[in-house]
Amino acid sequence: MNASQRLAAAAAAVVAGSVISAQAADAVNVKKAPIDTIFEQGPVNPYSKFFTGTTYLTMLSNNDDVFNAPIGNVTFEPGARTFWHKHTGGQILLVLSGEGRYQERGKPVQIIKKGDVVRIAPNVEHWHGGGLQTWMTHISVETNVPNNKSIWLDPVKDVQYEGKEQ
């Protein structure tokens, strides 16, 4: 092996080590929810830039031209929540486990629990998330697809999340 081949091999080893270290760090960041749910908890939510706190997402049905039904299993750690947002086609939440919070703009915070169904009409600004001290898992069903778009707005303030301000 000549000098340039040794240098390339060393560089590849450093890159491989970095990838393994990054994967190990992500695995450490994943916490297993202490609540029972039928679907496996997913990895850290790839849309985390629209959330406060840590959430996990498993897509149960991706949007496609056959079913037009994006369905996601979302797990929220305590204190985690979406930003304010709206769906042009609406949304339905099916709470599978734990206890969380839901709020429509201008209305009081609602506590949501296992077995609750939250029907959110098109273009209603809202947020949803885990409880103050509790995990929560829900199924998110996007309705009226393919014309349903998520429009992300501002982060939910702590006083709004705590129910002290609408």
Q: 89 lies in a domain?
A: yes
Does residue 153 sit in the same domain as residue 95? Answer: yes
Does residue 54 sit in the same domain as residue 112? Answer: yes
Q: Is 37 left (phi over 0), alpha (psi -120 to 50) or beta?
A: beta
Question: 78: domain CATH number?
Answer: 2.60.120.10
pTM across the whole model: 0.80
DSSP secondary structure code for residue 49 in this structure:
G
Closest CA relative to residue 54, chosen from 80, 85, 27, 31: 80
* pLDDT of 9 higher than 50: no
pLDDT (tens digit, 9 = 90+) per residue, 32-51? 888 877 888 999 999 999 99
| Contact status, residue 129 vs residue 101, Cβ threshold 8 Å | yes
**In terms of residue numbers, what domain contains 12?**
1-30
pLDDT for 141 equals 97
Reported as a pLDDT band with limits 50, 70 and 90, residue 29 is low
In whole angstroms, what is the distance from residue 57 CA to residue 46 CA?
8
Does residue 63 sit in the same domain as residue 118? Answer: yes
* Least confident segment among 21-35, 40-54, 129-143: 21-35
Q: 69 lies in a domain?
A: yes
